[in-house]
Amino acid sequence: MAISAHPVTEPIAHHGEGPAWHPRWGGLRWVDMLAGDLLALDAQGRVRRRHAGSLAAVIRPRAGGGFLVAAERELLLADADDLHAPLRSLGEAWQDPSVRMNEGGCDPDGRFYIGSMAWDETPGKGSLYVAAPGGSLTVVLSGVGISNGLDFSPSGDRAYYADTLTGRVDVLDYDREHGLTARRPFVTVDRGKPDGLTVDAEGGVWVALFDGGAVHRYAPDGTLDAVVELPVRKVTAVTFGGDGLDRLFITTSAVGVDRAEQPLAGALFAADPGVRGRPVLETTL
């Protein structure tokens, strides 16, 4: 099934990423990652911007109110939902300046996971971590190239995860006691590279295709059953939003792009996918 997408904003991000919709926020938030900025879209289509630091990799809501931002090498917490609420650091996670945080997400029990990658994209230098209540990080997966999309099945017993350099989306088992285990291939992407992803209410896995100019939906058995085509090649991440969680929001990048050829690179797009998403998982940090 082919699905069309349309721009919601002008090309306002250099490298859009990490989107999430939450009703407390009154709409969508995402990041302009390499600018270190947080972006917010309200119900009237207006975009607000807030600078958070040298890099902003992902934004997620906190269960008790406020939000979390993954920065270059630290997690930042806001205690209020206002986009401009003060941010406090949980401390530097590592000292190696060649490695930075990238995409992340929460599990059904509120734990926050954050991935990393080398600035120069050296294979194997990244990891996937889980944050303890105080913010310290424990390695879940090592030897990662570019740690990217992470989301969970509606039942909460499976997680889908993309290491972009593998060209593959993997599936893992999940339970509260053991966390993520039994990593195995789910699908191999046949255009571009897998970037951010989200799972809908029916268990379909929507994968942004970086350098692929599209979003793919894979059924729980791995069958490709829907394609969202975009007029830009560097598609970075996806999430469901809107009051009914029935709109698919898609972030894009303008890094290294000739804007004469792709004038909408860096815009936020939306599509009507014909299926609903699920509320974004919140962190208990």
Per residue in 170-209, pLDDT (tens digit) is 999 999 999 999 999 999 999 999 999 999 999 999 999 9
pLDDT at 150: 98
Contact 179, 130 (CB under 8 A): yes
- Given a cut of 90, whether residue 42 has pLDDT beyond it is no
Contact 199, 215 (CB under 8 A): no
Q: What share of the chain is helix, strand, coil (3-state, %, to 5)?
A: 5, 55, 45
Token pair in block for residue 74: 């630290």
- Measured between alpha carbons, how far is 234 from 250 in angstroms, rounded to an integer? 11
- Measured between alpha carbons, how far is 131 from 20 in angstroms, rounded to an integer? 19
- Given a cut of 90, whether residue 45 has pLDDT beyond it is no
Average pLDDT over every residue of 127-150: 96
Average pLDDT over every residue of 142-152: 97
Cα(first)–Cα(last) distance of the chain, in Å? 39
Residue 43: pLDDT band (50, 70, 90) is confident
DSSP 8-state secondary structure symbol assigned to residue 282: P
Residue 122 neighbours by CB distance under 10 Å: 13
Give how far Cα 13 sits from Cα of 33, 78, 204, Å: 8, 22, 28
Average pLDDT over every residue of 149-162: 97
Residue 69: pLDDT band (50, 70, 90) is very high
Average pLDDT over every residue of 161-169: 97
Averaged pLDDT score across all residues of the chain? 96
Residue 58: pLDDT band (50, 70, 90) is very high
Average pLDDT over every residue of 29-54: 95
pLDDT at 282: 97
Give how far Cα 173 sits from Cα of 66, 78, 158, Å: 29, 31, 5
- Given a cut of 90, whether residue 225 has pLDDT beyond it is yes
pLDDT at 245: 97
pLDDT at 1: 83
Residue 61: pLDDT band (50, 70, 90) is very high
Q: What is the pLDDT of residues 119-137, one digit of tens each?
A: 999 999 999 999 999 899 9
Contact 13, 254 (CB under 8 A): yes
Q: Which residues belong to the active site?
A: 195
Taking the model in full, what pTM does it have?
Answer: 0.96
Residue 44: pLDDT band (50, 70, 90) is confident
- Given a cut of 90, whether residue 65 has pLDDT beyond it is yes
Average pLDDT over every residue of 213-233: 97
Q: What are phi and psi of 24, to 5 degrees?
A: -65, -30
If one compares 83 and 44, the residue with the highest pLDDT of the two is 83
**Block residue for tokens 């303890």:** 132
